[in-house]
Amino acid sequence: MFVAAFPESFQDVSPLSPPVGRVVGHPTPTAMWDDMDHPEKRTTGQFGNNLPLTLPPSADRSGPPRVLAALFLAFFLGTGSLLGGCVRGPTQQNVDQSNNERRLASQMHREGNKPGAFEHARRALELDPENPEALLLMGVLHQERNNLPVAEDFTRKGIEALIERNARGGALAEARNFLGVLLLQRDHFDEAFEVLRESAVDPLNRAPHNAWGNLGLGYLQAGRPEDAIEPLTEAVRSQPRFCVGFHNLGRAFYELERFEEAERALVQATEADETCRDEPRLQNAWRLRGETRARLGHRDEAVVDFERCIELGPETSDGQACQRMLGGRP
């Protein structure tokens, strides 16, 4: 459960003084773009994938291109012009039209129209090959198609464009969080850890718990539970209602056989926010808490946890495991 800076209902790209929102799970790419166009809807999440990109005024975005990468050349060959052998950047009109196309792409993405989102994002980049929002949206769209190398390439270009255009606010930190998620998904752990920590400690990151949570989850994924403790502790410290963060912290303690600490974290995984108890994606937290309490000799409490685990989905692997723990046959 990675919290990319671009998720469903589990992300946090709130303003500098963010309202506390739901934090049970992981955000999806849709949320990031929804937040960009509708900042009043921002909520919290685990793997913050949403990028509330705040760029300089559009008047500052015309002129010669600054990142002449392969992506730029591919789009420019179809839409650019040559004058005296020199490449010229997009006109202000193209920049404005590119932003409009990106907004249409974001809207279609929210509506589930992925082909339409791809088409309008492509048009946005034809008009302005260095449009950061369009580049990052392309990264999200390719991630959703499991084209991870392509998603990573677009995301890196989007980050380069943000840096070149001096993006304000937490946009750069949130983009790096998403890049870190992509790197974890590709098992590129060392660079992922570096990128995620850079995002987490950025003072402008408006949802640092997402990056801390992803960093801790990455250490778990890499088989390093002891290293996961510090970032996951920081994640739940910075967002006390971060249920998924508590769940993963409990996992780390459990793997280290620190069962009393695991129990405390797993209690918070289902109680830190009122929505956590009924969240199916936290079914494993109930199972793990039951197993932890069984190891501690708390039989009656373990039974209650296993029963709740089954209620959340008897046919899932966790639900079947909980039935076996109670002596039933799934």
- Residue boundaries of the structural domains of the chain: 240-329
What pLDDT shows up at residue 320?
97
Distance CA 183, CA 220 (A): 14
When pLDDT is averaged across residues 204-232 and rounded to a whole number, the result is 98
Q: Give which of 76, 71, 100, 101 is closest to 87, Cα–Cα.
A: 76
**Around Cβ 277, how many Cβ atoms within 10 Å?**
16
What pLDDT shows up at residue 308?
98
**What is this structure's pTM?**
0.76
Distance CA 236, CA 3 (A): 14
Question: What is the sign of the dihedral through the CA atoms of 167, 36, 186 and 138?
Answer: negative
pLDDT band at 167 (very low <50, low <70, confident <90, very high): confident
18-27, 46-55, 114-123, 162-171: which is most confident: 114-123
Show Cβ contacts of residue 274 under 8 Å, excluding neighbours closer than 6 positions: none
Task: Check whether 183 has a pLDDT greater than 80.
Answer: yes
Instruction: Classify domain 240-329 at the CATH class level.
Output: mainly alpha
Identify the residue with better confidence: 253 or 60: 253
The single-letter DSSP state of residue 20 is P
> How many separate helices (H) and strands (E) can be counted in the chain?
15, 2
Task: Check whether 8 has a pLDDT greater than 70.
Answer: no
Q: What is the pLDDT of residues 110-141, one digit of tens each?
A: 999 999 999 999 999 999 999 999 999 999 99
**Around Cβ 251, how many Cβ atoms within 10 Å?**
23
Distance CA 131, CA 71 (A): 12
When pLDDT is averaged across residues 265-270 and rounded to a whole number, the result is 98
What pLDDT shows up at residue 98?
97
Percentage of the chain lying above the pLDDT 70 cut: 72
Task: Check whether 168 has a pLDDT greater than 90.
Answer: no
When pLDDT is averaged across residues 137-149 and rounded to a whole number, the result is 98
What pLDDT shows up at residue 259?
98
